[in-house]
Amino acid sequence: MLKGQAAIYPGSFDPVTNGHLDVIQRAARIFNRVIVAVADNSSKKPLLSIQERVDLLTEVTKGIKNVSVETFSALVIDYARKKKINVLIRGLRMTSDFDYEFQIALTNRRLAQDIETVFLMPSEHVSFVSSSLLKEVAGLNADISSFVPKAVERKLKERLNHD
């Protein structure tokens, strides 16, 4: 563990998946404190409200004592500076994520040289799960229980009117 070091894991988490949770658990083993920062991005059309995403993340991370959940609506580097944290966590599921995440990391570095991005890979069994794909298959009433925590499965069934 990096003594005294904190990190921010930003994202939309719409919804949080087992892949996200795996990255959160990995980050919590490395850093003394991890803030899961839920982006309130008005340009995206989320399925779940910002409060629902925060509530779900709070519920599924309640057993991880050094993790907290917050929202932010500014540039993530501005949020990090406000929190006095200089490490951002980004998850890499597949190699296809790398190009996009690399662009974001380099842009953030250009805007804030004092903030570093650390990439973490989830376990193989959850590395292919994306929130977008998950919402699509959940909308078709597929069994998503192996992709998301139980609380998220319940919320998606409720939201998508599946019994």
135 has catalytic annotation: no
Write out the two tokens for 31.
Answer: 């850093």
Dist. CA 61–CA 48, nearest whole Å: 18
Question: Among 44, 65, 84, 110, which one carries the catalytic annotation?
Answer: 44
* Beta strands across the sheet bearing 2-11: 67-72, 31-39, 2-11, 87-91, 116-120
44 has catalytic annotation: yes
Question: Among 33, 131, 135, 155, which one carries the catalytic annotation?
Answer: 131
162 has catalytic annotation: no
Question: Among 20, 26, 33, 53, which one carries the catalytic annotation?
Answer: 20
132 has catalytic annotation: no
φ/ψ of 153, rounded to 5, equals -60, -45
Element (H, E) at 55: helix 50-60
Question: Among 90, 93, 135, 155, which one carries the catalytic annotation?
Answer: 93
Q: Which active-site residues does the annotation give?
A: 20, 44, 93, 131
